Structure 1
C-alpha cells in the first residue's frame, strides 16, 4: 500500500496535473513483480485512459469498480452499499464515510473517479451525444539519435516510432476511437502498409442503454472470473493480489493500446434481463502473425511481437486467422455470485508446435479447441471467498480458490491455492501463477497486509510452488519454487520511507543437466521520497543478487528523480548509475513518460542513465510533453546485437507528444 499526500482535485483539474502518485503505485508493483509475467503495457494504457477520463462514482457499476486494481471485493460492495443507502455522493470527500477505505486508497481513488450529478437516467439522444461529447487527439513520435544495424539495409522503413489516436467520449455511456501506430523500422505508406500505419485499432462502446449494459464493436479485451480461461488483458500479480485481496472481475475493455497481441476483434454484448443476472456473448475473428512448420500447412508458433520490419517479418504478418465464439452468465445475490464461461476457438491451419523437449509435450495441439469454467464467490463485511474451476477439450483441470479476511481496517489476511493440471491450457488465460502459464502448477500463497500504527504499512507474502512436469530449464520431474516478499512503508508528513525485499528459489538444471539445483534471486529496494505541492524527490537504491551453484553475482542501481510543478509546467530530471554484471541481475525502473506509453526500462551492465521530462499546457485544450533521455554504458563499445545492434556505447532518444482536447 502506498501513502499519497495530494490535495483534492476536480476531474478537469486532474488532467492538467502531474500523474506521479498513481504511476508510483504502478512503479512499486513493477519493480518487485516479475516484469515478464504481467501485461504492463495494457495495464498502464488502461490506467492512463482512466485518469484522463475518470468515471462518475455515482453511476459506476460493480464491473466498473472491479476494474480498479487496488480495491478489494469488500470495498467494491461497501461503495455500492453506500450509494444505495444514501444516494449519490455530493463530493468525493464522502469516501471517508466508507470505513473499509483507508486514507491512501481514498487519495489514490480520486485519480480515477469523481462525484458527478446524475442528470437523466434515460439514455441521451444522438444529437445530445454529439453536441456535448468530448474529442481528444493525441500524436506522438520517438526520435533516436543513433542508427541500428538493421537501419542501413535490412529494415524496410525509417527508424522513427510514431502514432496517432483519436478518442470520442460522452460521459461513461458512449466511446469511440481509432488509433494508428508504427514501430521503428516498419514501412509507412509503402510495401505491406499501403494504408499508412503498420497497426490500427478501432472500437465503439455503448454502455447502460436500458437492459443492454455493454455493447462493444471492434477490438476489445475480456476478463471473467479469476482469468483461468478468459483474460486477455492485464493479469493478477502477487503483490497486486495482496493489495486487492485477490478480487476477481467481469469486465469488457476496449483495446486502445499499441500492443498487437491478445486482443479480440468483432463484437461483444452484455444484457441484464433480470436484476443482477448478466449474460454476455462474444464473437471474434482476426488475423494473426504466425510461423509455419516445414510443411507450410501447420502453425508452429503464434508471434506476438508485432514487429514487421524485415522481409521475413512482413511475410509472417497476418498470415493466419483465429476465431472465437462463446459466452458468460453470472448472477449476484446478497453477497453471493456464481457464473459460467465457455467458448470455442480455432485456427484456419492446424496448430502443431514443436514437441521435441519434455516441457513442450502437453502444449495445445490441433485446430479446434474448447474451454469451460465455473466461477463462484461470497463477500460480506469481513470475509471474501472467491474462485474458479476450469476444464478444456483435453479434460485437464485448473482451479484457483482464495479466501481473504479483513480483520479490521488495519489488518487483512489472504490465502490462495491453485492447481493447474499439466493437461490444461487456454489460449486466453492470464491469472495468478509462478510459471507464467496456467498449466502444470500447484501452489499455496499466503499474505498479510497490516497497518500497526497510522503511518506505517507492512506487507508480506509467501508462495510455495510445485511443478509436476518438466519445465523450461528444469528437465526433471517434480521441481519446486519458493517466493517470499516483505515491504515496509512509513509516512512522516511530507516524507515517505519505503523498503522492499523479495527472495526466490527455484529448482533448475545444473550445468551438466544431471540433477536439479536451486537458483536464488534476491531483490531489494530502498527509497526515500519527499513531496509537497511544488517539489517531488525520490532517491532509491536497488540491489539484485543472483546465485546458482558456484555462479554468484550482485548488481545495484542508485537513482534520483526530481520533479517540479509550477502553474502550467511540470518537469522532471532523472539520474541513475547502474552496475549489474549480467542479465540475471538486471534492474527494472519506471520513468515518467508520454501518456498511454509505458515508461519502463531495464538495465544491466555498467553505465549511467539521465533524462529530462517537460509537460506543459498550451491554453485550455492543448498539452505538450517532451522527454529526452540517454543511456551511457561504460563496459561495452556496442549496444544490443543482431539487427538491433548500435555501434556506440551510448544511445539517446527523444519523445514528443501533443494532445488536443475539444
Structure 2
C-alpha cells in the first residue's frame, strides 16, 4: 500500500511527467540522442544500424517488467549496477506500476530516466501471444511505412560534363541520387522490407550482362520470430553478432567514445535483418535460431553473396585472382561497372548459445568463408601475414557473467592459419560514485577473422594488442566525469608504417547539467600513433610518433519549449617531428518547433591545416540519413532542415546545405571536381505510414 501511495505521488510530479511525455511525443529527436550519447563524430560507427535498432525500440518499447538483461544492456543507457538494482526492485516490490516509479529504484537519477523513457514501457499484464494469421498482424501493424529520398549537388561536377575526347571517362548516369525503402516490423514477432538505392552517377537501366537491374543496389529481408520453437527465421539480407564480435560483429558496437563504461561490452544479438544501403559487411541467404531448451539455443546460417572486386591475372600461372573486396558501392564509370559483383563469397556456420541465468551465459561459434577466386595480396612486407587463398575458417568461444560488483565478458578464437585472437574485459562499480572498466585485446598478425568487428584501434581484428581503462565519476545529478586511457601495439608492419609500432589514446570529458534546460560539456582527447615520416636531415623514411590533440566545448540550452540552441567550439593540432599544424571550427545550431513544423539550422566557420586536423561535426538530417562531414580547409558551412508533418500518415523533410571555401577555386578531385569555390547539396524525403 505504501509503495502504491508513493508511486501515485510520483505520478503527480507534474514537471517530471511533462518532461518525460515531451520526449515520448512524435517529435522525439533520435538522431540528437545518438549524438549526445556517443559523440563519435570522427569514428566509423555505422549510425544507420544503430539508428534502425533504436527506432524500432522507440516504436515498440521494451517492457521493463519482463525485459531480459541483454535487452536492457542493448539500450547502452543503463550500467550493470542499475540493471541489477532494477531487477532486485521488481523482485522485492513486484512489477512496476508506471515508468515514473523508476525514481524509487536505487541508482536511477533524472538524467538516466530521461534518456530511458522513450524506449521503455511498463505493462503489468502477462504477455499474451497474438495468434492471428501473420498477414493480418502485418496489415494491422503501425510500424509500417514507405520512404522515398532524392539528393543532388546543384553545382556541375566534372563527371557530368561533355567529354573533350572519346577517351575521356564520364559517369554513366545523372547527378541525382534516389533511395526507396519499405519496412513493416514488430519487435519479437516479424520484420519484412526492402531497401534500394541509385547513387549519383549510376544509370537506371535493366542490363543483366552488367548485373544492373533498375536501381543499382537492392536489399530484401523477411523475418519471423517465436514461431513453433524457432526464435528467429530470416531469409534475405542479415547481419550476425555473437559474443564480443570477434568472428561476427555487426553494426551494434560503439567502441571508444565519451560513454566509457556502459557501451564497452558487446550484446549478443545473434542474427538481425540488414536494412542499410552500405554495400558490404552483410550476409545474404538464411539464418535460423532454434530454442533447444530454456537454456540452450542453436543458430545455423548460410550466405552466398557476390561482391565487387577488380579481377587480375597472375603473370606466371595465368590464373585469375583479386586483391581486395571493394566496398564503395559505386558503379558509375566503365571500370566500376566492370568490377560489379565479380567475386562470390560463401559463408557457412553455426552458433551454440547457453544461457545459464540472466547474468551468466556462454557460447561458441564455428564458420567457414570461401571465395570463387583466390585472394592474392600485393607483394609488400606489411601483407606478409594477411589472408590469402580461397578459403578460411574460424572457431571461437565467448562468455559473460556477473560476480558480486563485477561484470566479466570475453571471447577467444582461432583461424585456419593458426593465428589466435581474444578480447576480455570487465566493468565494476567500485563505489556509488565510481565506475571502472578494463579490457584486454590481442589479435595475432596472422589471425584472420574476415567478418570480425570486436574492440580495436585499427579497422580490423588483426596485428594488434592493447589495454583499455575506462572511468566514470558521478559527483551528483548535475556533474559527472568520464575518461579512458587506451594503449596499443602493432607487432607487425602496417600500411605506411615500415616497422612494428605502438601508440596511446586518452580522453577526459567533464559534463555539467546545472538545470534541465542547460547541458554543458568540455572534452579533451590526445592520441599518439607511430607512422612513416621523412627524416628532415637526409630525406629518408623513418617511423616517428605523431600526436593529435583535440578540445571540444559544447553548450546546449533550451530557451523555450520550442527553441533549442547549441554552441560548439572544436580545436585540434597535430605534431610529428618538425611538422606542426592545427585546425578549428565554431558552430552554432538552432532547432525550432512550431505546430507541424520543425526547423533546424547551422552556421559553421572552420579553418584547418592538413588531413589530420579535419573537423568532424554531426549535422541533423532526414530520417535514416546521417551527415557527419569533414570540415577541411578554410570556409563556412550552413544548412537548413525543415520537417513537416502533413498528417498522421505523411511526414516530409527538405534540406539544403552549402559549403563556401575561401582557400580554393576548385572543390573535389577527379570526376567529382566542381569548378568554383562552393558546393550546394539538396535533399528531399517523404515518409508514408500505411497505418
TM-score between the two structures when normalised by the length of structure 2: 0.89
Report the CA distance between 1:123 and its aligned residue.
4.3
2:291 to 260, 272, 281: 272
* Structure 1 residue 312 corresponds to structure 2 residue 335: yes
Q: How does 1:316-355 map to 2 (within 5 A)?
A: 316-334=339-357, 335-354=359-378
* Structure 1 residue 521 corresponds to structure 2 residue 521: no
Any idea what the Cα deviations from partners look like across 1:360-390, whole Å, max 9, x if unmatched? 1111111111011110122146211111111
2:255–2:264 Cα contact (<8 Å) kept = no
1:215–1:270 Cα contact (<8 Å) kept = yes
Report the CA distance between 1:353 and its aligned residue.
2.1
Over 3 Å counting, the alpha-carbon distance change for 1:433 and 1:221 in structure 2 is: same
Partner of 2:165: none
| Mean CA deviation greater in 64-73 or 166-175 | 64-73
Report the CA distance between 1:76 and its aligned residue.
4.8
Report the CA distance between 1:435 and its aligned residue.
2.2
| Mean CA deviation greater in 147-156 or 484-493 | 147-156
Q: How does 1:143-542 map to 2 (within 5 A)?
A: 143-152=152-161, 154-170=170-186, 172-191=188-207, 192=210, 195-239=213-257, 242-244=260-262, 246-251=264-269, 252-295=271-314, 297-334=320-357, 335-354=359-378, 356-380=379-403, 382-477=405-500, 479-493=501-515, 494-511=517-534, 512-531=539-558, 532-542=560-570
Over 3 Å counting, the alpha-carbon distance change for 1:363 and 1:79 in structure 2 is: farther
| Mean CA deviation greater in 306-315 or 100-109 | 100-109
Any idea what the Cα deviations from partners look like across 1:59-95, whole Å, max 9, x if unmatched? 5444443432334455455555656666654432233
Distance in 2 (CA, whole Å) between partners of 1:233 and 1:243 is: 18
* Structure 1 residue 644 corresponds to structure 2 residue 672: yes
Partner of 2:642: 614
Q: Which has the higher contact order (CA 8 A, sep 6+)?
A: 1
1:347–1:368 Cα contact (<8 Å) kept = yes
1:42–1:259 Cα contact (<8 Å) kept = no
Over 3 Å counting, the alpha-carbon distance change for 1:248 and 1:82 in structure 2 is: farther
Secondary structure of the structure 2 residue equivalent to 1:42? helix
Distance in 1 (CA, whole Å) between partners of 2:596 and 2:624 is: 20
| Structure of larger gyration radius | 2
Report the CA distance between 1:412 and its aligned residue.
0.3
* Structure 1 residue 24 corresponds to structure 2 residue 35: yes
Partner of 2:685: 657
RMSD: 2.4
Distance in 1 (CA, whole Å) between partners of 2:528 and 2:596 is: 48
* Structure 1 residue 99 corresponds to structure 2 residue 106: yes
1:136 to 126, 138, 145: 145
Distance in 2 (CA, whole Å) between partners of 1:77 and 1:636 is: 57
Over 3 Å counting, the alpha-carbon distance change for 1:500 and 1:39 in structure 2 is: same
Over 3 Å counting, the alpha-carbon distance change for 1:77 and 1:201 in structure 2 is: farther
| Mean CA deviation greater in 49-58 or 627-636 | 49-58
Distance in 1 (CA, whole Å) between partners of 2:126 and 2:460 is: 46
Distance in 2 (CA, whole Å) between partners of 1:427 and 1:554 is: 36
2:258–2:483 Cα contact (<8 Å) kept = no
Any idea what the Cα deviations from partners look like across 1:491-511, whole Å, max 9, x if unmatched? 011212110110011112231
| Uncovered stretches (5+) of structure 2, i.e. residues with no partner | 1-15, 163-169
1:6–1:107 Cα contact (<8 Å) kept = no
Over 3 Å counting, the alpha-carbon distance change for 1:384 and 1:599 in structure 2 is: same
2:261–2:436 Cα contact (<8 Å) kept = no
Partner of 1:7: 19
Provide the aligned length of Structure 1 versus Structure 2. Answer: 652
Report the CA distance between 1:523 and its aligned residue.
1.0
1:527–1:538 Cα contact (<8 Å) kept = yes
Over 3 Å counting, the alpha-carbon distance change for 1:250 and 1:23 in structure 2 is: closer
TM-score between the two structures when normalised by the length of structure 1: 0.93
Secondary structure of the structure 2 residue equivalent to 1:231? coil
Distance in 2 (CA, whole Å) between partners of 1:218 and 1:246 is: 30
Over 3 Å counting, the alpha-carbon distance change for 1:515 and 1:189 in structure 2 is: closer
| Mean CA deviation greater in 15-24 or 468-477 | 15-24
Over 3 Å counting, the alpha-carbon distance change for 1:312 and 1:336 in structure 2 is: same
Distance in 1 (CA, whole Å) between partners of 2:131 and 2:91 is: 23
Any idea what the Cα deviations from partners look like across 1:600-635, whole Å, max 9, x if unmatched? 111110000011111121111111111111011010
| Uncovered stretches (5+) of structure 1, i.e. residues with no partner | none
1:245–1:404 Cα contact (<8 Å) kept = no
Secondary structure of the structure 1 residue equivalent to 2:521? strand
1:22–1:111 Cα contact (<8 Å) kept = no
Distance in 2 (CA, whole Å) between partners of 1:221 and 1:90 is: 36
Secondary structure of the structure 1 residue equivalent to 2:325? strand
Over 3 Å counting, the alpha-carbon distance change for 1:475 and 1:5 in structure 2 is: farther
Report the CA distance between 1:411 and its aligned residue.
1.6
Over 3 Å counting, the alpha-carbon distance change for 1:397 and 1:170 in structure 2 is: closer
Over 3 Å counting, the alpha-carbon distance change for 1:159 and 1:336 in structure 2 is: same
1:580 to 598, 608, 617: 608
Report the CA distance between 1:101 and its aligned residue.
4.2
2:253–2:266 Cα contact (<8 Å) kept = no
Over 3 Å counting, the alpha-carbon distance change for 1:115 and 1:181 in structure 2 is: farther
Secondary structure of the structure 2 residue equivalent to 1:369? strand
Any idea what the Cα deviations from partners look like across 1:252-307, whole Å, max 9, x if unmatched? 22111111110111111222222232221111111111122234611211011111
Partner of 2:596: 568
Report the CA distance between 1:463 and its aligned residue.
0.9
2:546–2:576 Cα contact (<8 Å) kept = yes
Any idea what the Cα deviations from partners look like across 1:420-455, whole Å, max 9, x if unmatched? 111102111101111222111111111111112221
Report the CA distance between 1:404 and its aligned residue.
1.2
Report the CA distance between 1:246 and its aligned residue.
2.0
Over 3 Å counting, the alpha-carbon distance change for 1:20 and 1:439 in structure 2 is: closer
Distance in 1 (CA, whole Å) between partners of 2:540 and 2:456 is: 25
Distance in 2 (CA, whole Å) between partners of 1:602 and 1:445 is: 27
2:56–2:187 Cα contact (<8 Å) kept = no
Distance in 2 (CA, whole Å) between partners of 1:441 and 1:194 is: 39
Any idea what the Cα deviations from partners look like across 1:124-153, whole Å, max 9, x if unmatched? 221541452232111111122111111225
